Amino acid sequence: MKTVYLVFRREFAGYFATPIAAVFLIVFLGMATGLTFFVASFFDRAQADMSAFFLWHPWLYLVLMPAIGMRLWAEERRSGTIELLMTLPVQPWQLVLGKWLAAWVFAGLALLLTMPLWATVNYLGSPDNGVIVASYLGSWLMAGAFLAISAAVSALTKNQVLAFIGAVVVGFLFVMAGFDLVLSAVKPWAPQIIVQAISSMSFIGHFQRITDGVLEVPALIFFISLIAFALWLNVRILEVKKAA
Amino acid sequence: MTLVETRGLVKRFGSFTAVNDVSFSVQRGEVVGFLGPNGAGKSTTMKIIAGFLEPSSGEAFVAGHNSRTDALAARKRLGYLPEGAPAYPDMTVGDFLEFIAAMRGLDATAARRRLGILVERIDLAEVWNRRIEALSKGFKRRVGIAQALVHDPDVLILDEPTDGLDPNQKHEMRELIRELAPEKAIVVSTHILEEVEAICTRALIIARGQILADGTPADLLAKAPASDPERQRLVKTTPLEDAFRHITLEQAGA
């Protein structure tokens, strides 16, 4: 666990050693609040809840999480430092977990900085704070899933732009999994069970159930399993690349 | 005592064979120079020994530990300077070396003691708090060496440790390698021939993935063809350069 912590600490500090952290936080907060107030018309709704805020998170994360995840491995490969990391007497999973945790905690920090909005909603009315807490947690887990996917894609290449695009494409499939755009490509030939399986992968579907305040546990389990799977895949990619 | 051993290493990238049946061993106290043209397979062989790449076939051992099946034990005994001395540009020298020491399992006291010795020996005190991206090539290379020596390993694999250094820095690096040599097994790759004469007890000439010659620098010199005085007047070459050209070009049929 100490190794995981060391990797985490180095990686987390790395965000703040460059302008990445500041730029990301400003863009994230700007977009999150902009979408809430101007696109989802937070005030016009005149409802004491935060659904106008959480509504956009899958789309926001689709673009912003690959932006923090793309560097995790691609940058190491480009600069050659991956040779240092992979020849240290540590297990690849410790590196994978530490790096992902750093990105995830960073995303959590960004999410934490939106809390004034929560305070505002409580000042203006009396929202269901239980649902809001569950929504924050669900949003953070969904961010973790996007990041785990981004990290695994990043391990495939030394090109950060490719890592970004790849992660957005895979993320997009997950976001849209419940919609006809994706399902119509499968429906004509796949058996019903496959179609259902794919539509049950929908980020929006699971996240909506969390923000609606119903059926939270299966949705949480979905995101946690997806994170675990993507991290496992990340480890496998590193191992396969050694033998390639 | 054999500290590095490779048996029939082969590494293919697709249809390209980068390393083709490379076997050799290195004893404690030896400094083996890996000589060869660019693209000869020097770096690939070193990456396999360091455990960064897995061979397509064959085996590599570090202090008796198989670099693939017993990787962690092998890596503990090994210090590796990858080509170009990569390091995290956004970290300071101190943070970076402390990170490597901690990752190698040194506790805070041991790390401080060890880094204290290295900082003095490798002369890093003045850049300790500087970011790595702001370092000169010479200092960057020194940080790379320090990183490889943090845990005082038995085996050192140094991929072009003097590449890009100025003559004074090259001299210092060679002094350091010579000083470390008696207690360790060291493999150094280079394409600078004078370096082999200066520091190596043995040289392996490798081209197109194969070992073409294995011997002391003096042995290699003996393979040099009688030099043509006319040519020597026009292009100044050293006897070792002639030997190198002779051995590596002969194979290509040139």
* ipTM of the complex in this document: 0.89
Domain boundary among B109, B132, B152: B152
**A191 at interface of B, judged by CB pairs closer than 8 A:** no
User: What are the phi and psi torsion angles at A194 (to 5°)?
Assistant: -70, -45
Say how many CA atoms lie within 13 Å of B74 toward its Cβ. Answer: 23
Per the structure, the count of domains in chain B is 2
How far, in Å, CA of A140 to CA of A109, rounded?
Answer: 10
CB contact under 8 A, A3 and B78: no
Q: What is the pLDDT of residue B254?
A: 43
Summarised one tens digit per residue, pLDDT across range A76-101 is 999 999 999 999 999 999 999 999 99
**B52 at interface of A, judged by CB pairs closer than 8 A:** yes
Same-domain check for residues B110 and B33: no
How far, in Å, CA of B167 to CA of A165, rounded?
Answer: 45
Same-domain check for residues B135 and B180: no
CB contact under 8 A, B72 and A3: no
**A10 at interface of B, judged by CB pairs closer than 8 A:** yes
Name chain B contacts of A90, Cβ cutoff 8 Å: 72, 103
Residues β-bridged to residue B16: B13
Give long-range contacts, CB 8 A cutoff, 24+ apart: A78-82.
A78/A158, A78/A159, A78/A160, A79/B86, A79/B88, A79/B89, A80/B82, A80/B83, A80/B84, A80/B86, A81/B86, A81/B87, A81/B88
Lookup: tokens for B58: 């064959």
Name chain A contacts of B90, Cβ cutoff 8 Å: 14, 17-18
Residues β-bridged to residue B13: B16
Residue of B nearest to A75 (CA): B88
Nearest by CB to B103, from A6, A17, A18: name it.
A6
Confidence class of residue A151 from pLDDT cuts 50, 70 and 90?
A: very high
Nearest by CB to A90, from B54, B103, B147: name it.
B103
Lookup: tokens for B196: 């082999």
User: H-helix or E-strand containing B187?
Assistant: strand B185-190
Q: What is the pLDDT of residue B228?
A: 61
Name chain B contacts of A99, Cβ cutoff 8 Å: none
Assigned domain for B44 exists: yes
Please say if the pLDDT value at position A216 is more than 80.
Answer: no
CB contact under 8 A, A17 and B91: yes
Name chain B contacts of A98, Cβ cutoff 8 Å: none
Domain boundary among B131, B152, B173: B152
Q: Which amino acid is at A80?
A: G
Assigned domain for B84 exists: no
Residues of chain A above pLDDT 90, percent? 57
Query: How far is the alpha carbon of B87 from chain A, nearest alpha carbon, in Å?
Result: 6
Which residues, numbered 76 to 115 in chain A, qualify as contacts with chain B under a Cβ-Cβ cut-off of 8 Å? Answer: 79-81, 83-84, 86-91
Q: How many CB atoms lie within 10 A of CB B202?
A: 19
Same-domain check for residues B67 and B142: no
Name chain A contacts of B91, Cβ cutoff 8 Å: 10, 14, 17
Same-domain check for residues B21 and B113: no
Q: Which residue has the higher pLDDT, A20 or B106?
A: B106
Size of interface A-B (CB pairs under 8 A): 65
Closest listed residue to residue B245, CA positions, set B191, B186, B173:
B191
List all residues 6 or more positions away from A181 whose beta carbon is below 8 Å from its beta carbon. none
CB contact under 8 A, A83 and B80: yes
Confidence class of residue A213 from pLDDT cuts 50, 70 and 90?
A: confident
Query: How far is the alpha carbon of A75 from chain B, nearest alpha carbon, in Å?
Result: 10
Assigned domain for B32 exists: yes
Q: Sign of the CA dihedral B173, B179, B183, B185?
A: positive
Q: For residue B15, with 0-12 CB atoms within 10 Å meaning exposed, 13-18 middle and 19 or more buried, which class applies?
A: exposed
How far, in Å, CA of B156 to CA of A87, rounded?
Answer: 12
Q: What letters, b where the CB count within 10 A reaches 16 and e where it falls short, cover A53-64?
A: bbbbbbebbbbb
Which residues, numbered 31 to 50 in chain B, qualify as contacts with chain A under a Cβ-Cβ cut-off of 8 Å? Answer: 47, 50
Same-domain check for residues B115 and B62: no
Same-domain check for residues B65 and B170: yes
Assigned domain for B50 exists: yes
Name chain A contacts of B49, Cβ cutoff 8 Å: none
CB contact under 8 A, A79 and B83: no
List all residues 6 or more positions away from A54 whose beta carbon is below 8 Å from its beta carbon. A135, A139, A207, A211
Q: Which residue has the higher pLDDT, B189 or A215?
A: B189
Domain boundary among B118, B135, B152: B152
Query: If you average pLDDT over every residue of chain A, what do you get?
Result: 90
Assigned domain for B33 exists: yes
8 A C-beta contact, residue A146 and residue A63 = no
Query: How far is the alpha carbon of A113 from chain B, nearest alpha carbon, in Å?
Result: 25
Same-domain check for residues B98 and B26: no
Please say if the pLDDT value at position A135 is more than 60.
Answer: yes
The pLDDT profile of chain B, 254 residues, written as one tens digit per residue, is: 899 999 999 999 999 999 999 999 999 999 999 988 888 899 999 999 999 999 999 999 999 999 999 999 999 999 999 999 999 999 999 999 999 999 999 999 999 999 999 999 888 999 999 999 999 988 999 999 999 999 999 999 999 998 878 888 888 889 999 999 999 999 999 877 788 888 899 999 998 899 988 988 888 777 766 656 665 566 666 777 777 777 777 655 54
User: What are the phi and psi torsion angles at B155 (to 5°)?
Assistant: -120, 130
Same-domain check for residues B240 and B123: no
8 A C-beta contact, residue B205 and residue B199 = no
User: What are the phi and psi torsion angles at A52 (to 5°)?
Assistant: -65, -25
Assigned domain for B85 exists: no
Assigned domain for B226 exists: yes
8 A C-beta contact, residue A50 and residue A136 = no
How far, in Å, CA of A237 to CA of A171, rounded?
Answer: 18
Summarised one tens digit per residue, pLDDT across range A30-78 is 998 888 887 777 777 767 778 888 988 999 999 999 999 999 999 999 9
Which residue range is the domain that position B121 belongs to? Answer: 90-152
Which residue range is the domain that position A147 belongs to? Answer: 2-243
Assigned domain for B98 exists: yes
Q: What three-state secondary structure class fits B88?
A: coil
Per the structure, the count of domains in chain A is 1
Q: What is the pLDDT of residue B241?
A: 75
**B106 at interface of A, judged by CB pairs closer than 8 A:** no
Q: For residue B61, with 0-12 CB atoms within 10 Å meaning exposed, 13-18 middle and 19 or more buried, which class applies?
A: buried
**B99 at interface of A, judged by CB pairs closer than 8 A:** yes
Summarised one tens digit per residue, pLDDT across range A169-205 is 999 999 988 787 778 887 888 888 888 888 888 888 8
Q: What is the pLDDT of residue A67?
A: 93
Q: What CATH number does the domain containing B191 carry?
A: 3.40.50.300
Say how many Å lie between the first and final Cα of chain B, rounded.
39
CB contact under 8 A, A84 and B100: yes
Name chain B contacts of A83, Cβ cutoff 8 Å: 47, 50, 52, 80, 82, 86
Summarised one tens digit per residue, pLDDT across range A122-132 is 888 888 888 89
8 A C-beta contact, residue A65 and residue A143 = yes
Q: Sign of the CA dihedral A103, A106, A110, A111?
A: positive
Nearest by CB to A17, from B82, B86, B90: name it.
B90
CB contact under 8 A, B86 and A3: no
Same-domain check for residues B147 and B164: no
Closest listed residue to residue B19, CA positions, set B41, B43, B36, B34:
B41
Q: Of A16, A88, A240, which to mutate for an interface test with B (greatest number of B Cβ within 10 Å)?
A: A88
Please say if the pLDDT value at position A237 is more than 80.
Answer: yes
